[in-house]
Amino acid sequence: MQLCSELLHQGSAKLQLQPAIRHARYPSWTGRPHDWGEAWQGIASLVWQVGARQEPVVATKIRWVGSAVRAVDLFAGAGGATAGLRQAGISVIGAVENDAYACQSYQANHPDVLLKQIDIRQLDPDAFRRELGLRRGSLELLKACPPCQGFSTLASGDIDEERNDLVLDVANFVFAFRPRVILLENVPGLARDNRLPKLLATLEAVGYRFKQYKVNAADLGVPQRRKRLIIIGASRAVRRRLPEKITDLIPERFELTETTVKEAFDLLRKSEIRDDPLDRYRQNSPQVAARIAAVPVNGSRFDLPPDLQLDCHRRVTGRTATASYGRIRLDAPAPTMTTRCTTPACGSFIHPTEHRGITLREAAVLQTFPLTYRFMGHYGSIEQQIGNAVPVRMAAALGEVVRAILGR
């Protein structure tokens, strides 16, 4: 195992890697491998297992050697998708995000990724590719999650059309990188927008084929009901057919079982983390606090007495948030975490048993961020970063699908 020997002698990594290798499952070879491909596959498996036990920066460098699946993350946000892809053994080497606070969060957790803080419309895709040291056609995965508010059923109707057009700008990066696989994630409403067929037709004209999947994050083990449209595209260089169901390519070790809020919160409660800066919730006025206290377990604003109801609650319209002032259920996945996910007036975001909204950390846990994941910025910005994120576990599942499509 010359490769592992070399890894063991890379300075500071030595003490970290030795315990991990003891726990890894060595490939069992008897005699000469049938071919070098078989040998490399076994080495890659071992290296990936070792990398899974390391700190993020070390793990990324190790996994790249074994998996050779590299990714660029567009509209990266605070890094939820990057964290999940890395859990799947994918090496994210570049990212683009425009929001300053989200970039600070991303860099705090993924310092080894080349991150560009810029509007993607202002970034030259070819120059970015060259800066990453990539040839056209050499990148395995391009992931993009354009802003989804304009396609959401909760959209107010005054969303900037230019922001919706960002989905079309993804094509410029596909032309520049020519990745083997494209991964798009958005709300289901994107499927009804005329921009999507334009984008897909443009990319099909240069050899990509696509399949669309409607996925609920709760079906992938995320403790949250979050319906999303997943679009996977493959270039001519990818021989494998795209799956009919996205779960067909998720390995058995990735347990596809429903996770409840109680299970997620128990992990947080049992952790030894102290003085967590995200262990805080939104402070409310006395009137809002009274409404929260009046909502019973598993209840909502419909349980409020008349003197605590708002006028907008009495005038229900198509755009009224009917779930406002709702308590999260302990025995089921949580509702979708939005950009106001700790604000009780904006959804079912009251703690299951306590008279308060959920904390920022509790919201992050429901998005399956690691308990030590760092977020930068003021309270409102962090709340928005968490709500906008791709759930980490969902991204990990999608990463497994991408690896299977690539045969890695």
- At residue 117, the pLDDT reads 98
In this predicted structure, the answer to whether residue 358 has a pLDDT above a threshold of 90 is: yes
In this predicted structure, the answer to whether residue 187 has a pLDDT above a threshold of 90 is: no
Q: What SS3 class is residue 293?
A: helix
In this predicted structure, the answer to whether residue 182 has a pLDDT above a threshold of 90 is: yes
- At residue 162, the pLDDT reads 59
CATH code 3.90.120.10 region(s) in the chain:
261-388
Question: Any catalytic annotation for residue 148?
Answer: yes
Query: 317 or 283: which carries more pLDDT confidence?
Result: 283
Q: What SS3 class is residue 102?
A: helix
CA distance 285 to 76: 34
CATH code 3.40.50.150 region(s) in the chain:
69-257+390-406
Q: What is the pLDDT of residues 212-234, one digit of tens each?
A: 999 999 999 999 999 999 999 99
Q: What SS3 class is residue 163?
A: helix
Determine phi and psi for 214, rounding to 5 degrees: -100, 120
Number of H helices, E strands in the chain: 16, 7
- Dmax over Cα atoms in the chain, in whole Å? 80
Tell me what the pLDDT averaged over the chain comes to: 82
Q: Which of 189-193, 285-289, 353-357 is modeled with the greatest confidence?
A: 353-357
Please pick, among 103, 148, 341, 346, the residue that the annotation labels catalytic: 148
Is 261-388 assigned to CATH 3.90.120.10? yes
Q: What is the pLDDT of residues 96-125, one digit of tens each?
A: 999 999 999 999 999 999 999 999 999 999
In this predicted structure, the answer to whether residue 303 has a pLDDT above a threshold of 90 is: no
- Spell out the SS3 assignment of 4-64: HHHHHCCCCHHHHHHHHHHHCCCCCCCCCCCCHHHHHHHHHHHHHHHHCCCCHHHHHHHHH
Q: Is 298 left (phi over 0), alpha (psi -120 to 50) or beta?
A: left
- At residue 305, the pLDDT reads 85
CATH class of 69-257+390-406: alpha beta
